[in-house]
Amino acid sequence: MSEFAGAGAEIGSFYPMPRPDASPPVEEHLPPREWLKKNLFSNVFNSALTVAAGLLIIVMLRGLLGFIFNPLRQWNATAVNLRLLMTHAYPADQYLRVWFSVAAFLILTGLSIAVWRAGSRVPVPDVGKRVTALGVFVTLSALLAPFSGSARLSWLAVAVFLLASGLSVSRTSKDRSVSSLSLLVGVCGLAALSLWVIPYGHHSFVSDRTPKILAEPGTVDLTTKLPWTIMLLIAVAAYGVGLLLRDRIPAKVARTSLVLAWILTPILLLFLVLRDPDFDMGHVLSTDIPIFLVFAVLGSALLFWLTNPETGEVGRIVAVTVLFLAFGSFLMPMRMVIRIFMLLLAIFSLAGPTFSGDRRTRHNYVAIWTGTAVFVSWLITAINTPSTAPVPGQFFLGGFSMTLMVAFFTLLVSFPLGVMLALARTSNMPIFRLLATWFIEFVRGVPLITILIFFSVMVPLFLPDGMDLSEVAAVTIGYALFASAYLAENVRGGIQSVTRGQHEAAEAVGMTTSQKTVFIVLPQALRVAIPPLVGQVIGTFKETSLLIIIGLFDLLFVAKAIIPNQTAFMGSTRENLMVISLIYWVISYSMSKASMRIEKRVGLGEQ
């Protein structure tokens, strides 16, 4: 190496090496005029474009503000009907259940933010710049909007306040920073405070006998401002608890249980809290629990034996036998619960040899089976139990909650299904490949609306006697099948991006095909597929609005068909559509933001 060291010194004299303590060159900070000249008016063409775009923005803003602040607009329509938009006809005296559900989600959000260490430090001057930009926007709006003189003045006063505070904050030292989370809480706190202080107007819908709408001056109703204030406090408290727990529980355990909670909570809330099932304890004790116990105990014993590495070939034969028994159970008259349990047990049995290992691994496997059995058993019982929530119409939820619910269940079903389809389509087995390809190509060739209508109208006709499927459930299944076909294609893209070398490396250490798929291929494939998958999640959420075509009472239906038909708000369609597009946008945009975070984070591990 010595001769190379000499060569290095020689090169050093030709090309001066950077000093070890050299700091990177300071980023050039242009004054506003220079910046404008460099970026917006650098040449004639650029200047013309800037002017044209500026004019276009002003014209559009003027049109939009003219629409919003037109005295003919009935913004009351959404304010009064918020409950209708959110839950449709859910009984008002049961509203504690709704707030309980909102609180549950906020608790999960708070805990997740703490455990995943979301949020970042924002330099204080940057906050000032944002506030200044907002001030500029409000000034522009105040000048463009069709206000009366006094209204314009008060808006301008707000704008001046924003500009002044923004500019003063942006002058502060760059070293000071503030956490983005406390900013968020601050903004939400101010919003909650404004509910108590600012006279937005007192809107309520009184539905006793002759429905009438009250819109009086004053602050909003106590049934609005009190719960939202409590919700904010709950969210902050949950974050605090999350901070405390974060250092006491291993990160992996905390994250896994939170993900599980995010999946299970909506189901529990829907079937236990919101639906308030009227459990028939006699039936539960005499039928449901015994069936569960049989499968839990015998299944555990079977799986414990199957995951023993010494079981060998006999285990595979037994697993296949269970599968045939499960298929056979559909040919004989018996309870649907038993068939479902048989199928589940067959899947667990077939996967058993793949996950066989030492005693601890086997115990974990059996525990997962028991947990699944408890949950499935409870869910089936809850679904079959009539609801006590007295609601007119066919389904107890509507509006935004139905949109959320259908989107959630669609994703929950379509995700595993899509992954399985993708695996089948890329597998070496011709039958699986053929079936998956046919299914995907067929579903992708049929419009979503056709599938939704088919499932709402035709499927109930095909069901066997005694089996009843609500329209919402039927449509959700149809939508999930549709979504899974597209999801499968996205996942397939990911699977094909896993290099041949990865397959060979996994094979060379002796992994079986299923082990290779679970431990090597799928983790990498799903990571690659995150951007298209998030795009699809957002699409699925938004396209639930197609439910309006079948006449289900989702958010769009309430906004388009119900509120504009109230005598007080005849023809308020446009206002409602604007509000719900805002709701859709906020949710989709936050999902998009979250996915960017995830992408960044997974990218880190790979570098």
Partner 1 sequence: MTDVTDVTETETGTDSGGAARSGRDLSSAKDMIVCEGVSKWYGDFQALEGVSATIKEQEVVVVLGPSGSGKSTWIRCINRLEEHQEGLIVVDGVELSNDLRNIEKVRSEVGMVFQQFNLFPHLKVRDNVSLAPIWVRKKSKAEAEEQAQALLELVGIPEQADKFPGQLSGGQQQRVAIARALAMEPKIMLFDEPTSALDPEMIKEVLDVMKNLALSGMTMMVVTHEMGFAKEVADRIIFMEEGQIVEVGTPEHFFTNPTEDRTKLFLSQILA
Q: Residue 282, interface with partner 1 (CB under 8 A)?
A: no
27 part of the interface to partner 1, by CB under 8 A: no
State the Cα–Cα distance between residues 80 and 220, nearest whole angstrom.
10
| DSSP-assigned letter for residue 145 | S
- Which is nearer to partner 1, 430 or 466 (by Cβ)? 430
Quote the CA–CA distance of 440 and 428 in Å, as a whole number: 17
Closest by Cα among 532, 563, 292, 508 to 418: 532
C-beta separation of 51 from 44 below 8 A:
no
For the bound state, the minimum distance from the C-beta of residue 419 to partner 1, rounded and expressed in Å, comes to 16
Residue from 139, 300, 311, 502 in contact with partner 1 (CB under 8 A): 502
- Smallest gap from Cβ 504 to partner 1, in A, equals 5
| Phi then psi dihedrals of residue 50, to 5 deg | -60, -45
Q: Quick one: which of 240, 386, 416, 523 contacts partner 1 (CB under 8 A)?
A: 523
Q: Taking the complex as a whole, how short is the minimal distance between the CB of residue 243 and partner 1, in angstroms? A: 25
Pick one of 527, 535, 566, 573: the residue that binds partner 1 (CB under 8 A).
527
Element (DSSP H or E) covering residue 425: helix 399-426
- From the CB of 311, what's the least distance to partner 1, in Å? 11
Is residue 251 a contact point for partner 1 (CB under 8 A)?
no
Residue 432 Cβ vs partner 1, minimum distance, rounded to whole Å:
17
Q: Are 357 and 307 in contact (CB under 8 A)?
A: yes
DSSP lists the bridge partners of residue 177 as 123
Quick note: the x/- pattern for partner 1 over 291-310, rule CB under 8 A, is ------------------x-
If we measure between CA atoms, which residue out of 111, 114, 157 comes closest to residue 138?
157
Closest CA to 70 of 577, 574, 585: 574
**Least distance (Å) between residue 535 CB and partner 1:** 22
Is residue 511 at the binding interface for partner 1, with CB under 8 A as the rule? yes
Residue (130 or 503) nearer to partner 1, CB = 503
Here's the x/- map for partner 1, 347-386, by CB under 8 A: it reads as -------xxxxxxxx-------------------------
Q: Which of 330, 519, 585, 589 binds partner 1 (CB under 8 A)?
A: 519
Which positions from 305 to 344 touch partner 1 by CB under 8 A, shown as an x/- string? ----x-----------------------------------
- Beta strands, E only, 70-127: 121-123
Q: For partner 1, which stretch binds (CB under 8 A), given 207-215, 220-228, 495-503, 533-541?
A: 495-503
Nearest-10 Cα torsion for 86, 92, 96, 100: -20
**Which residues, in sequence order, are bridge partners of residue 203?**
215
Nearer to partner 1, 157 or 367 (CB): 367
Instruction: Write the DSSP symbol of residue 463.
Output: S
**Contact of 10 with 19, CB cutoff 8 Å:** no
HSE, CB side, 13 Å, CA atoms: give it for residue 402.
31
Spell out the residues 6+ positions from residue 371 whose beta carbon is closer than 8 angstroms to its own: none
- Least distance from C-beta 492 to partner 1, angstroms? 18
Q: Dihedral angle at the C-alpha atoms of 571, 574, 579, 583, nearest 10 degrees?
A: 120
Backbone angles phi, psi at 520, to 5 degrees: -115, -55
- With CB under 8 A as the contact rule, the residue among 46, 286, 512, 592 that binds partner 1 is 512
Sequence-distant (≥ 6) Cβ neighbours of residue 437 within 8 angstroms:
425
Location of structure tokens 């974990």: 364
CA distance 402 to 556: 10
Binding segment toward partner 1, per CB under 8 A, in 10-18, 181-189, 341-349, 504-512: 504-512
Binding range to partner 1, per CB under 8 A, among 32-40, 74-82, 414-422, 506-514: 506-514
Per rule CB under 8 A, is residue 605 in the interface with partner 1? yes
Does the footprint of partner 1 cover residue 278 (CB under 8 A)? no
Give strand ranges (E) for 167-321. Answer: 177-179, 202-206, 212-216
Residues in the interface with partner 1 (CB under 8 A) total 30
**Minimum separation from the CB atom of position 501 to partner 1 (A):** 4
Helix axes 222-246, 95-115, angle to 10 degrees: 30
Residue 8 interacts with partner 1 (CB under 8 A): yes or no: no
Rounded-to-integer distance, Cα 420 and Cα 439, Å:
12
Residue among 216 and 507 whose Cβ is closer to partner 1: 507
Is residue 78 within 8 Å of 85, Cβ to Cβ? yes
Query: Under rule CB under 8 A, which residues in 448-477 are in contact with partner 1?
Result: none
x-or-dash string of contact with partner 1, 46-85, rule CB under 8 A: ----------------------------------------
Nearest approach, Cβ of 5 to partner 1 (angstroms)?
13
Single out the segment in contact with partner 1 by CB under 8 A; choices: 162-170, 202-210, 444-452, 599-607: 599-607
Sequential DSSP letters for 513-544: HHHIIIIIIHHHHHHHTHHHHHHHHHHHHHHG
DSSP state of 552: -
Q: Give the number of C-alpha atoms closer than 13 A to the C-alpha of residue 296, restricted to the C-beta side.
A: 17
Position among 25, 466, 508, 567 found at the interface with partner 1 (CB under 8 A)? 508
Of 309 and 447, nearer to partner 1 (C-beta) is 309
Neighbours of 328 (CB within 10 A): 11
Shortest Å, Cβ 516 to partner 1: 10
Smallest distance, partner 1 to C-beta of residue 320, A: 16
Residue nearer to partner 1 on the CB measure, 497 or 590:
497
Segment contacting partner 1 by CB under 8 A, of 247-255, 269-277, 319-327, 500-508: 500-508
Q: How far is the CB of 223 from partner 1 (least distance, A)?
A: 49
Which residues contribute to the site for partner 1 (CB under 8 A)? 309, 354-361, 499, 501-502, 504-512, 515, 519-520, 523-524, 527, 605-607
